[in-house]
Structure 1
Amino acid sequence: MIHDRVECRKYHTMAEPNPQAGDTGPPKGIPALKAHVIANKLDVALWGLRILTMLCTVGYVIPIFTNPTSAFYKALLANAATSALRLHQRIPPREIAFSREFLNRFFLEDSAHYLFYSLIFMNVAPNLLILAPVFLFAMLHAASYSLAILDTLGQNSMWVARLMISLVEFQSRNILRAVALAEIVLFPLIVFMALFGYSGLLTPFMYYYFLMWRYASRRNPYTRNTFRELRELTVRTAERPSMPAPIRSALLSGVQLVCNMAPPVEVQQ
């Protein structure tokens, strides 16, 4: 799942059905939308699953029409389906082989990370922070593809929706930074949940591997960059002259512990 933003940009330059002689441009409207859906079934399915992820998350926060617990797990299932379908696009079935090389390639894919993410949290107590990364990713990618959907209806259709999509895309960097921060903050929360019986005792260990994969991601550096920014902030805070020695020592020890848990340098490149 990241699911990088660049993949969605291609939809804006997709070729539409060839215009007939005398036409001033490709056809627009419902017929064009139907043709687009038929020609891009997988991409439209991804878009629909991301919309479903967002709706289930909203249903968890505002439980008016659904049970919040049910909405929580449905959001995770929709995210898992999105990740699996995206993996199908990235790694076609003919390339699947149960080998060490294939597994290495598999876990380099951001979609594999978030498929694993959904599976981790299928047996934990619902928590809004768990849904934050999947909701933000779904919003970012759904917004990008929504422009392709709107373009088939006409360049001037639904200008309010276009404005909202533009706002989302304008904030894309901040959204990805928020996703990375949520991924990091989740780790101590999951440790707390495991200690007090809100999740399985193995959940923190499984989440550690997810976080390690996100840290070493080649396509999405935001988790790695956020770790670095947090480390620098913590070190600056610890080195303030007014900082008591015990707190300074605890902060620096925490930084050293996290650095020791990070993947090797060669994995990051």
Structure 2
Amino acid sequence: MADSSSASSANQPERGLAALKQHVIEHKISCGLWALRLLAMLFTLFYFIPLFGNPYNIYYKVLICNSAINALRLHQRMPPIQFTSAFFAELSMEDSFHYLFYASVFLYASPIALVLLPIFLFALLHFASYSLTLLDCLGQNRMWAWRLMISLVEFQSGNILRFIAMIEIILLPISIFLVFSGRAGLLTPFIYYHFLSLRLKSRRNPYTRNVFYEIRNAISAVAAKPSVPAIIRRLLTYFLQVVQVMEPVRQQ
């Protein structure tokens, strides 16, 4: 009996700080991504609650963290760079490429608080998911308070992704107003339009596409009402014709 119990305990994976250290050594990039996401969240909080540093500088640090995160994700998911149309077509379908592009759109514009929310929320979702892996290294019965908070984040993941999709869509008209206010360049709305087109093609995240269709159908229903003034109906119809070009993928 003693021999069998000692054999079964020997077959069980080690738990504790030693196991966590070994995991970090074996998964350097994944752990580096976890640390960068924590840093991105902290910088975002410091931007909204300016207790440390200059909020203007912190804003751009969030964008830089986001670029580093998505560059590493592309390194994990994509094969070595090939100058072929197939490679770039595959690259354009990756969510990590989309948000690497997203950071470059606003890197040369004035700080906009709404821009940081998708970065913060994506970082929160992935940070929570990988934190469970790290906690399992310490032991499955450890840190129940942290596990509970992570479970709450994962339980609300659908609503969080819908909220991110809503922000992605709302930022398109906001980018146009930024041009007229002098806070962004003339090309910013056109570049962001291309980003949003890429998000509608995403294979792994259908939320932007679904929310886009919901908003479009709601605007179409408003434009069809007889009580709507003719000038507003014409503006809404023109808007629907413009966004119709952004529908390369039909909702499933």
Aligned partners of 1:239 and 1:123: how far apart in 2?
Answer: 40
Structure-1 residue corresponding to 2:16: 29
Aligned partners of 1:152 and 1:187: how far apart in 2?
Answer: 43
1:68 paired residue among 38, 42, 55:
55
Structure-1 residue corresponding to 2:246: 262
1:124 is the counterpart of 2:123: no
Q: Please say which of residues 170-179 and 193-202 is displaced more in the overlay.
A: 193-202
1:154 paired residue among 139, 143, 153:
139
TM-score by length of 2: 0.91
Aligned partners of 2:249 and 2:23: how far apart in 1?
Answer: 44
1:109 offset after TM fit, Å?
A: 1.0
Structure 1 SS opposite 2:7: coil
Structure 2 SS opposite 1:21: helix
Aligned length: 246
What 5-or-longer segments of structure 1 have no aligned partner?
1-19
1:102 is the counterpart of 2:96: no
Structure-2 residue corresponding to 1:79: 66
- Which residue identity does 1:125 align to in structure 2? S
1:263 offset after TM fit, Å?
A: 4.5
Runs of 4+ in 1 over 6 A off after TM superposition: none
Q: Note the aligned Cα RMSD (angstroms).
A: 1.9
1:35 offset after TM fit, Å?
A: 0.8
1:130 offset after TM fit, Å?
A: 0.6
Structure-2 residue corresponding to 1:10: none
Aligned partners of 1:246 and 1:120: how far apart in 2?
Answer: 33
Q: 1:136/1:26 Cα in 2 relative to 1: closer, same or farther (>3 Å)? A: same
Structure-1 residue corresponding to 2:180: 195
Q: Deviations over 1:124-157 (max 9, x none)?
A: 1111111111111111111101111111111122
1:136 is the counterpart of 2:121: yes
Aligned partners of 2:222 and 2:187: how far apart in 1?
Answer: 33
- Which residue identity does 1:180 align to in structure 2? A
Over the matched positions of the two proteins, sequence identity in percent amounts to 54
